[in-house]
Amino acid sequence: MTDRPRLTALAERLPATVPFVGPEAQERARGQPFRARIGANESGFGPSPRVVQAMAAAAPEMWKYCDPENHDLRVAVARHLGVKAENVVVGEGIDGLLSLTVRLHVSEGTPVVTSLGAYPTFNFHVVGFGGRIVAVPYANDREDLDALLEAVKAEGAPLVYLSNPDNPMGTWWEADEVEAFAAALPASTLLVLDEAYGETAPEGTLPPIDVSRPNVLRLRTFSKAYGLAGLRCGYAVGDAALISSFEKIRSHYGVNRMAQAAGLAALADQGYLATAVGRIAAARARIADIAHANGLAPLPSATNFVAIDCGGDGAFALKVMQALLAHDVFVRKPMAPGLDRCIRISCGPDADLDIFEEELPGALAEARGN
Amino acid sequence: MTDRPRLTALAERLPATVPFVGPEAQERARGQPFRARIGANESGFGPSPRVVQAMAAAAPEMWKYCDPENHDLRVAVARHLGVKAENVVVGEGIDGLLSLTVRLHVSEGTPVVTSLGAYPTFNFHVVGFGGRIVAVPYANDREDLDALLEAVKAEGAPLVYLSNPDNPMGTWWEADEVEAFAAALPASTLLVLDEAYGETAPEGTLPPIDVSRPNVLRLRTFSKAYGLAGLRCGYAVGDAALISSFEKIRSHYGVNRMAQAAGLAALADQGYLATAVGRIAAARARIADIAHANGLAPLPSATNFVAIDCGGDGAFALKVMQALLAHDVFVRKPMAPGLDRCIRISCGPDADLDIFEEELPGALAEARGN
């Protein structure tokens, strides 16, 4: 008998943690808002006006519970991708779907392979369910497919995480390379293929959807190119048996009613998506230009952000980031060894990039101690 | 090595399940919409017009991630209740918070005490994390506090669930009875006190908030009296150490941006809440009148619904419900032995109750085989 309710042994040893500190928390700490919000890989171009209308129209209907089957959105996603509804599960963003995927496959001590410096929220879920992270370093700023494969085999890992295009570096593999990686995996290893940035990638980056392969799960979201990060709505696509296993544990009312309505409207407005993707590409080019103009090396990017090599070590890039923050420009940076020489700038409207352009020279000078 | 990725032993044995079939799914199966939606304990009176405005205003901002700390809403809830922010965790509805609470305390084989016929989603989470449900029958249509306490002690259960007011019967215990129950629990047992219907209960039903007690967690929601079931936003209140343990596992971006904005606006409009509570009380009285007029016995209710004793067994009440559904009136019913003699009617505007009033006599006649 203890003097208070006891947590599970696993919960007891988990740290209380926040994978990211939000810009709002930073603004509260600073006592001052940022002038440019280009740090969280959001799309400052926002959602389609039709989606905004759909959300406003859904507002008075919010007294109703959401459809626990997410039926209309699930069917629309399936149609969009040319698969059956049984191959799609809609969830609370990729974060929510990653949590469920991990929970289905990971128990105490299960090895899970990912890249050192890749998406921290995935790691949060793995650790949260008692798994053991096996982290493979990036090679040439890309997730290292050969080394990931080797680690999977050495560990007998049931899960391997790959983001393509990659966050936080913005790099990518061609579709055939990803397919070769998937084909080389043991049948007992599930490839968790995070394609959050799929819509902004060059043609030929996303392998064709093939739901006949039971060990590949594709994850996509309305958070990035669709401009709806605050919505918490994404979907996973895969083999029907795998997808049906989510029914065992998912929070059936988890995707809120407006998220379903907005997701449906977003998917229906592919014209806006194309426009947004064009704006994001233009912003990427401008961020690269700004970097070059300051003597820095932008990395090629297939995402809605650009990692900029600041030309020094991690400590230097950290100083650059901190100087930008102090100048009211919200940006972030990779933290893993080797990747940490970069800062990471999200695409956004010209007004935001104007501020970045204006503040970067000063931030660099401060970081250099001039 | 298997020919496909293997689920955990626990996930493998879980059934694929849906705790509730939504009215939308029923409408799809019927090929026809319901004329009255009074089955899911939603509030047909809807949210405050100010909340609807706040949602529409938030729509264009949905490109931003939500504040992962839910800071503004958390602080507002704390202020509303007269506690500190550290005593409040905001989550994806009570469902989401129940899942986290269970995950923190339940592992394979952990006994968990609840009432037979109480909230199925709680059981879904308990089973989903490997727990073992110990279900205590209701007594006189109320959750049986003495028997719950006895079961907790006999099983050494770390969790006991109590909803007050109760769903699905609408009954309630007075605050001092709940307090006596809490005080009698072992210190190592957490009382998960679901107060989803707290706002519609008579004064004296909710014990004063006392966050000094480490083994009581209070759960509340914007789904019911606030008229925002589709929002997925609720909160838990308790001892700071217990509340901080949610940081170990919660989905930090889980509460979507609009839900935070809407929750804040809802909390700020207590005038509307009072109006809604008045309308709900009037609807309760009208549902009771309709029941009486048809020779049925409505149960006293502290919630936004009324359980009606149909005067027969479970099979008869099931027929009444099915006849109502066939007449386009969406209602539900309790399923546990003893409780199953009732149907359950949610409060709603007069237009909905008019339809119920119109259709009930025919439904009863059909159920009686007349």
The model's pLDDT over A89-124, given as tens digits with 9 standing for 90+, comes to 999 999 999 999 999 999 999 999 999 999 999 999
- B30 Cβ under 8 Å from any chain A Cβ: no
Which chain A residues have a beta carbon less than 8 Å from that of B44?
A: 63
Q: What stretches in chain A show pLDDT beneath 50?
A: 1
Chain B residues close to A243, C-beta within 8 Å: none
Of B59, B186, B256, the CB nearest to A1: B186
Q: Which residue has the tokens 């064009």?
A: A278
Are A118 and A167 a contacting pair, CB within 8 Å?
yes
- Helix H or strand E encompassing B112: strand B111-115
Quickly state the pLDDT bin for B290 (edges 50, 70, 90): very high
**CB-based contact B106 A8, cutoff 8 Å:** yes
Cα–Cα dist B26/B5, whole Å: 34
**Which pLDDT belongs to residue B1?**
46
- Cβ–Cβ contact A289 with B under 8 A: no
Q: What is the pLDDT of residues B208-233, one digit of tens each?
A: 999 999 999 999 999 999 999 999 99
Both tokens of residue B282?
A: 């009037």
Q: What is the pLDDT of residue A1?
A: 45
Which residue do the tokens 């306490």 mark?
B149
Give the three-state DSSP class for B164: coil
| Rounded Cα–Cα distance for residues B157 and B175 (Å) | 23
Size of interface A-B (CB pairs under 8 A): 290
- Beta carbons of B187 and A1 less than 8 Å apart: yes
Residue A187 touches partner B, C-beta closer than 8 Å: yes
pLDDT in tens, A130-167: 999 999 999 999 999 999 999 999 999 999 999 999 99
| Per-residue 3-state assignment (H helix, E strand, C coil) for chain A | CCCCCCCCHHHHHCCCCCCCCCHHHHHHHHCCCCCEECCCCCCCCCCCHHHHHHHHHHHHHCCCCCCCCCHHHHHHHHHHHCCCHHHEEEECHHHHHHHHHHHHHCCCCCEEEEECCCCHHHHHHHHHCCCEEEEECCECCECCHHHHHHHHHHHCCCEEEEECCCCCCCCCCCHHHHHHHHHHCCCCCEEEEECCCHHHCCCCCCCCCCCCCCCEEEEEECCCCCCCHHHCCEEEECCHHHHHHHHHCCCCCCCCHHHHHHHHHHHHCHHHHHHHHHHHHHHHHHHHHHHHHCCCEECCCCCCEEEEECCCCHHHHHHHHHHHHHCCEECECCCCCCHHHEEEEECCCHHHHHHHHHHHHHHHHHHCCC
The model's pTM = 0.97
CB B157 within 8 A of CB B189: yes
Cα of B127 to nearest chain A Cα, Å: 9
The predicted pLDDT at position A2 comes to 60
Tokens of residue A317, six digits: 């890039």
Q: Rounded mean pLDDT of B174-187?
A: 98
Query: Contact, A288 vs A298, CB < 8 A?
Result: yes
- In angstroms, the separation between the Cα of residue B111 and the nearest Cα of chain A is 13
Smallest Cα–Cα separation from B239: which of B190, B176, B185, B175? B190
pLDDT at A207: 98
Residue B201 identity: A
Which pLDDT does position B3 carry in this prediction?
86
Question: Which pLDDT score is estimated for A16?
Answer: 86
pLDDT value for A59: 96
Q: Do A242 and B5 touch (CB under 8 A)?
A: yes
| Interface membership of A252 toward B (CB under 8 Å) | yes
User: Residue B195 corresponds to which tokens in the numbers above?
Assistant: 């107060």
Q: Please report the pLDDT score of residue B2 as a whole number.
A: 60
Enumerate the residues of chain B whose CB falls inside 8 A of the CB of residue A190: 5
What's the mean pLDDT when you consider all of chain B?
Answer: 97
Residues of B in contact with A44 (CB under 8 A): 63
Per-residue model confidence (pLDDT) at position B19? 72
